[in-house]
Chain A
Amino acid sequence: MTITPSPMIVRVLEMLAGTRPVELGCEEVTALLDEYCDAQAAGEDMSRFNPVIHAHLRVCVDCREEYEALLAMISMNADPPGA
């Protein structure tokens, strides 16, 4: 017999593996998100630019979604196709 872990338990373990003793909360990350996205758009290595934010975004799906949306918006050409 073999046992395959559910995607859920893998997700839980991913969250545990990324756990740090001290982490930024969502409000703190949101406060820094614009600066973080500008740095990424400028080509910074984000895992080094602010590893604490980077770690939060790996765990928090809502903050990650907002980060991805904001990064997409500021990276868009001024006149996207079909605008």
Chain B
Amino acid sequence: MSASNQSRTVQITAQAAAPTTPQPGGQTERSNDQWLADLSGAPDRQDAALEDLRRWLARRLFFYLRGRSDLDRLDDSEIRDLAEDFVQDSLLQVRAKLHQFEGRSKFTTWAGKIAVHQALGELRRARWRDFSLDGLVGESDWTPAFLVQENDPDAPDASAERAETMRAVAEVINEELTERQREALVALTVHGVPMDVVADRLGTNRNALYKLLHDARKRLRLRLEERGYDVTALLDELSG
């Protein structure tokens, strides 16, 4: 994503009209009820509240983004523009979803959640825009050899049982998972592709992908247990 994405034309004009009730110290002094009242109130109150919220979100999002290693090629000015772009889009969503706020958190935390979801979703898709699932499983076949990082022929022979374990894991993955499930698992665990991106490529969404993988995990775990493997003990043994 370009830091100076000028194609974003969505602008929420939040002119510096004084709020009906001045808020000492800015928006953080507002209660949840005050936020809702101001954002649903007269235009000048809405504008002032939006400007306070924009400033709160943009400042924090800027510092969060500045700490991300994948954005270290950008200077502060570019990151500030990026944060502002994300926040502008997020404010539209905040206004549209205002009726959904149930008051179970601070209002600013709720708005922050929307901004984070917007920002990170866009960053993931921009970073992985050229990624394809085509041929992924073929390249990364689930064989015992693939599950092994290295073989050291000079090390003591203590691995017959471990090799058998690897074979069992490979078999259940190959036999029990659908191609779609294997593709998703390879993308996530081998290539580190975000869930959002894998979901896009599979023509679904993150929530549905999570459920697809949950079904896969339950099936794999059950089949390994039927073969006498305790996955927790297996993990301790293999990662130990």
Contacts and interface: CB of A to CB of B under 8 A. Distances in A.
Contacts of A3: 148, 151, 159, 162-163, 166
Most buried by B among A1, A74, A76: A1
A45 interface: no
Contact of B195 (A15, A60, A72, A73): A60
Nearest to B67: A72
Contact of B109 (A11, A37, A62): A37
A60 B120 contact: no
A69 B149 CA distance: 32
A73 B196 CA distance: 22
A15 to B, nearest CB: 6
Contacts of A12: 169, 173, 185, 189, 220
Given A25-B210, A38-B106, A1 B116 contact: no
Q: Contact residue range for chain A?
A: 35 or more
B224 A16 contact: yes
A6 to B, nearest CB: 4
A65 B163 contact: no
A37 B63 CA distance: 18
A42 B154 CA distance: 53
Interface stretch (B12-20, B42-50, B231-239): B231-239
A7 interface: yes
A70 B112 contact: yes
A29 to B, nearest CB: 9
Most buried by A among B104, B166, B211: B104
Given A5-B147, A62-B120, A19 B189 contact: no
Interface string B161-191: 0110010010001000000000001001110
A5 B64 CA distance: 35
A76 B221 CA distance: 40
Contacts of B82: none
A2 B105 contact: no
Contacts of B224: 16
Contacts of B59: 80, 83
Given A3-B166, A37-B105, A38-B106, 8 more contacts: A2-B156, A5-B166, A9-B166, A12-B173, A17-B235, A23-B214, A25-B211, A38-B105
Interface of B: 28, 59-61, 63-64, 67, 104-106, 108-110, 112-113, 116-117, 119-120, 124, 146-153, 155-159, 162-163, 166, 169, 173, 185, 188-190, 194-196, 206-207, 210-211, 213-214, 217-218, 220-221, 224, 231-232, 234-235, 238-239
14 contacts: A1-B159, A5-B166, A6-B146, A19-B214, A19-B218, A34-B109, A34-B110, A38-B105, A59-B217, A62-B194, A65-B194, A73-B60, A73-B64, A74-B112
Interface of A: 1-17, 19, 21, 23, 25-27, 30, 33-35, 37-38, 59-63, 65-66, 69-70, 72-74, 76, 78, 80, 83
